């Protein structure tokens, strides 16, 4: 949570910008866009509030840059399509049993109030997950099936956030693999 830099902070634009960016990343990932205030970000980065506006234009601009810099599940998506369901299942199970710290997907679920932010999130979801996933599928309604699988993925995240992490079970991966395969079946 408080992953702030302990080293002395030099009077450097680039370094301060970076601290703000990383602080924002962590907070957004944990709490979502709306629950995080610029004052929280500035405090976590040990920087002044006004610098958020100066360096990123606005809170939304900062969020946008965080989103752009975030690694995606691309590594899971590429590879032979046969194993896709299992790779997704393994990835989801890993997320399911780990504590909150996790990529920006976390904030995808719950950042929806501001329409501008919603659009950012939607584009990101499409371009980073659904489209590449659909590209791995064959058949007419590949997009629709990719959407369904992504929905399952998001739903698991929502559930974990709401009810807390589940006790792991060795059957989880197998069952989830079957679920994703059912999503992908033409």
Partner DNA sequence: CCGGCGAGTATACGCCTGTTTACTTGCCGC
Partner DNA sequence: GCGGCAAGTAAACAGGCGTATACTCGCCGG
One character per residue 122-161, x = contact with a second copy (rule: CB under 8 A): x--xx--------------x--xx-xx-xxxxxxx-xx-x
DSSP symbol at 130: I
Q: Is 173 in the site for a second copy (CB under 8 A)?
A: no
Long-range contacts from 77-82, C-beta under 8 angstroms, 24+ separation: 77/129, 77/132, 77/133, 77/136, 78/132, 78/136, 81/136, 81/137, 81/138
Q: How far is residue 177's CA from residue 186's CA, in Å, rounded to a whole number? A: 16
Q: Is 169 in the site for a second copy (CB under 8 A)?
A: yes
What's the closest the beta carbon of residue 112 comes to a second copy, in angstroms? 6
Among 59, 87, 124, 160, binds DNA (CB under 7 A): 59
Question: C-alpha distances in angstroms, 143 versus 79, 101, 122, 127?
Answer: 18, 29, 15, 12
Among 20, 66, 88, 121, binds a second copy (CB under 8 A): 121
What's the closest the beta carbon of residue 98 comes to a second copy, in angstroms? 16
Q: Is 117 in the site for DNA (CB under 7 A)?
A: no
Nearer CB in complex with DNA: 37/127: 37
What is the C-alpha end-to-end distance of the chain, expressed in Å? 43
In the chain the beta strands, taken as DSSP E runs, fall at none
Among 32, 95, 105, 120, binds a second copy (CB under 8 A): 32
Q: What residues numbered 80-109 form the site for a second copy, per CB under 8 A?
A: 108-109
**Helix (H) / strand (E) containing 108:** helix 105-110
Question: C-alpha distances in angstroms, 34 versus 45, 56, 141, 153?
Answer: 18, 17, 34, 22
Q: Applying CB under 7 A, which residues contact DNA?
A: 9-13, 15-16, 36-40, 47-54, 58-60
In the complex, the residues that contact a second copy under the rule CB under 8 A are: 32, 34-35, 108-110, 112-113, 118, 121-122, 125-126, 141, 144-145, 147-148, 150-156, 158-159, 161-163, 166, 169, 171-172, 175-176, 178-179, 181-183, 185-186
């Amino acid at each position: 949570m408080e992953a702030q830099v302990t080293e002395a902070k030099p009077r450097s634009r680039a370094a301060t910008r970076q601290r703000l960016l990383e602080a924002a990343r962590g907070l957004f990932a944990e709490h979502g866009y709306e629950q995080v205030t610029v004052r929280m970000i500035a405090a976590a980065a040990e920087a002044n509030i006004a610098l958020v506006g100066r360096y990123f234009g606005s809170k939304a601009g900062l969020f946008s840059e965080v989103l752009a810099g975030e690694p995606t599940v691309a590594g899971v998506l590429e590879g032979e399509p046969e194993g896709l369901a299992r790779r997704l299942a393994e990835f989801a199970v890993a997320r399911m049993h780990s504590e909150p710290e996790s990529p920006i997907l976390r904030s995808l679920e719950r950042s929806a109030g501001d329409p501008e932010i919603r659009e950012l999130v939607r584009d990101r979801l499409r371009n980073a997950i659904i489209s590449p996933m659909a590209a791995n599928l064959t058949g007419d309604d590949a997009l629709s099936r990719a959407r369904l699988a992504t929905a399952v993925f998001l739903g698991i995240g929502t559930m974990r956030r709401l009810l807390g992490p589940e006790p792991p079970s060795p059957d989880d991966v197998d069952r989830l693999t079957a679920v994703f395969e059912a999503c992908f079946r033409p």
